Chain A
Amino acid sequence: MSMEEQDLLRSAVKEFAQKSIQDRALKIEHEGIDSALLQSLAAQGFLGARIPEKYGGSGIDLHGYLTIINELATFSPSVSALVMLVNSVHAALIGDSEPEVMKKLATGEATVAVSFSDVLEGSWTATSLQKSGNGMKGAIQASTLHNSQYAIAFNREDGHLYLFRNGVKALEEDSGLSFRGLSNGPLEIDSTDFTVLSDRGLESLKNVVDSLDLEVAAIALGTAKGALDKAIDYVKVRKTFERPLKDYGPVGNGLSKLMAEYLALSSLLDTVDEKDERARLTLKVLSVDFAKRATKAALQYHGGYGYIEDTGVEKFYRDAMGLSILFQRPHHDTMRLSKEIFGEKSGYL
């Protein structure tokens, strides 16, 4: 996709988000992404952006896809993460072996719950699935989109990764720290209809998490931008000591420097070569760190209003932190980057 096409796509996503997400962003945090929004994301071709056209997706290229999730994140990181999950996790794990499921994913007819708890850093929890007659049963302590029809989960007993087509039951939702629009919570599985997606399940899950370098960078930058836009608008009109906040050095210059950082990282993202591992990792590591700093400053410059959800800035702060833990293995990523820099395993002690 050329830069002009990317710009056009960005405008289209923005227009869509202004109409369909902006005023509902808080409702999405409280109640999740409803099927109407899912359908309209699909109708625009955003939901199945990377899914091949034969399954009802848009089959667009990487940069177009990154533009979509980047722009969606400026309005709702949860909606953006949903698009990432559908394309880069669910579709990537399910692949061509399940055309029916792929079609439902691309069109928003169904969603898939997925749990990364077995592979994320710092995790003590593991899914506990067991064979039971011809079926499989178990509990999954936390997953995204837990109220889905399908679920992907790892079975420690046999080391396989499964797709469950029935018997997926959502237990009580827990809003948790971040990506509240994704409806996170525990699952119960009691299924008789399932397929093995991989016989090296743990490795497949790790690979899929590690493959999200550019998606995570795009969401991080969109999240930061969403927060910075709000802060910049706010400090122009909010006055203390009879002056607009923007006139104070730490506020005006602080936000300007963050915006400059955003522009530098964004231009890297717009042109990154997906085969360049070092560039991918650089973008991910820097963008996630940047998002944490930018969203924190944006919240702070809103004063007390930043602390209240109605203002719409605190979600960016929560999601920037959540992004670095739920869709990334940060320690592992830093080591990957060190290996790129030193040409051999480094920084592991």
Chain B
Amino acid sequence: MDFDFPEDINNARKKAQEFARKEINSRMAKEYDRKEKFPEELRKKAFEQGLVDYTNPWSMLVTIEELCRADPGLGISATVSLFGAEVIMLFGSDAQKQKYLTQVQTGEKIMGLAVTEPGGGSDVAGIKTRAVEKDGKYILNGAKMFITNGTIADFFVMLIRTEEVEGKRHHGLSAFIVDSDLPGFSKNKLSGKLGVRATNTAELILDNVPVPKENLIGEPGKGFYYIMTFFNISRAYVAAQAIGIAQGALDRVLEHLNRLTKEGNTALAEEVQFLAADIATRIEASRLITYKAASYLFQFRPNPTLTSMAKAYASETATFAAEKALEITGYSGIMGDLERFFRDSKIMEIWEGTSEIEKLIISRNILKEYAEVA
């Protein structure tokens, strides 16, 4: 067993660190946060410099970590423009891949994944948005809520109900590619988010939106399964976002403590030392679970239990780290980057499966495994 990354991944990390040092700074991060502005130029640069390449998943994982370490809102915005691409990659037709994926892979276009609805996000099988076949098209009606890249995406992968199956709520759901310029498709930007305010979030309204039949992904009625497969991939990347946030918080704590010992010429209180040790330990543990989950995933042997553990634990580590970092750094933390990290970190426990939902998945799986062995 070797715990060290091979050289190419270490190089990808270094490259992302270098990019973050050059392109992201506190003033800029604060400005985009306060103005709730999407950093399109930064996103473009990240593509131009070859940082965003999901065909190389390990490099992507460490890149996300490093960019979120510099700033969560900017780091996520720069790397999330292919959100949902794996659904098309795994289950889409060649024509769909050619038409839609090529341009998001080069950064020319932006996509999003729309699952959550005003009525619910955790309960994916409870989806109400409907698609009805008419004149060779699917006509979509309903609403999607909290959709990342909502007002800037060129198209979305959407989970829509095509059929009611009595007693089987997760049956009858289908995945579609929906172009955002179709008639009847409108978007309302959601402003006033607690954090990750540089990211773009919107509510999508579908009012008789006609979607060509060829935009159905895979088979009808299999959407729930496709999306769950997707979440097993994307949750590893969310864990990387969370690790980046936690590490970024720790960096700032260490900078503060270093200054304190130098300028104050005093020994650090043990309470503070213990907190710093706890943050560092949790980050290390988060990395180990996440890299293990990613290792299974990237070898096409996904382990949903591990992926959910990684997502839940790394997310709780991010909020723990940001909270404790503010407590340790006090006034300078609240006046600097850390107040943003504190606000940004909370989203980790909410999106792409709340911590509660991840824990339900973990316990359901371990109980099932136990029953199978017994």
A binding-site residues for B, Cβ under 8 Å: 26, 117, 120-125, 141-142, 174-178, 239-242, 248, 250-251, 292, 296, 299-300, 303-304, 306-310, 314, 317-318, 321-322, 324-326, 330-331, 334, 347-349
Instruction: Tell yes or no: B112 within 8 A of A by CB.
Output: no
Q: Which residues of B sit under 8 angstroms from A318, Cβ to Cβ?
A: 194, 343
Do the beta carbons of A120 and B350 come within 8 Å of each other?
Answer: no
With A122-B328, A321-B326, A321-B342 as given contacts, are A176 and B269 in contact (CB-CB < 8 Å)? no
Do the beta carbons of B270 and A349 come within 8 Å of each other?
Answer: yes
0/1 interface trace, chain B 180-216, chain A, CB 8 Å (1 if under): 0000000000101111000000000000000000000
Q: Which residues of B sit under 8 angstroms from A26, Cβ to Cβ?
A: 192
With A240-B126, A241-B123, A303-B122 as given contacts, are A309 and B354 in contact (CB-CB < 8 Å)? no
Do the beta carbons of B346 and A307 come within 8 Å of each other?
Answer: yes
Q: Which residues of B sit under 8 angstroms from A239, Cβ to Cβ?
A: 120, 123
Q: Which residues of A sit under 8 angstroms from B193, Cβ to Cβ?
A: 307-309
Question: A123-B332, A177-B343 are known contacts; what are 13 more A-B pairs with Cβ within 8 Å?
Answer: A26-B192, A121-B330, A122-B256, A122-B329, A122-B331, A141-B335, A300-B349, A300-B354, A303-B354, A306-B350, A308-B190, A309-B192, A309-B193
Instruction: Tell yes or no: B237 within 8 A of A by CB.
Output: no
Q: Which residues of A sit under 8 angstroms from B334, Cβ to Cβ?
A: 176-178, 322, 325-326
Q: Which residues of A sit under 8 angstroms from B34, Cβ to Cβ?
A: 174-175
Interface size for B (C-beta < 8 A) is 43
Closest CB in chain B relative to A323 CB, distance in Å: 11
Closest CB in chain A relative to B311 CB, distance in Å: 15
Q: How far is the CA of A317 from the CA of B192 in the complex (A)?
A: 14
Instruction: Tell yes or no: B65 within 8 A of A by CB.
Output: no
Q: How far is the CA of A347 from the CA of B120 in the complex (A)?
A: 48
Closest CB in chain A relative to B364 CB, distance in Å: 13
Q: Which residues of B sit under 8 angstroms from A178, Cβ to Cβ?
A: 334
Q: How far is the CA of A186 from the CA of B327 in the complex (A)?
A: 23
With A177-B339, A321-B326 as given contacts, are A348 and B126 in contact (CB-CB < 8 Å)? no
Q: How far is the CA of A175 from the CA of B329 in the complex (A)?
A: 19
Q: Which residues of B sit under 8 angstroms from A241, Cβ to Cβ?
A: 122-123, 126
Q: How far is the CA of A49 from the CA of B344 in the complex (A)?
A: 37
Q: Which residues of B sit under 8 angstroms from A122, Cβ to Cβ?
A: 256, 328-333
Q: How far is the CA of A324 from the CA of B351 in the complex (A)?
A: 27
Closest CB in chain A relative to B114 CB, distance in Å: 13
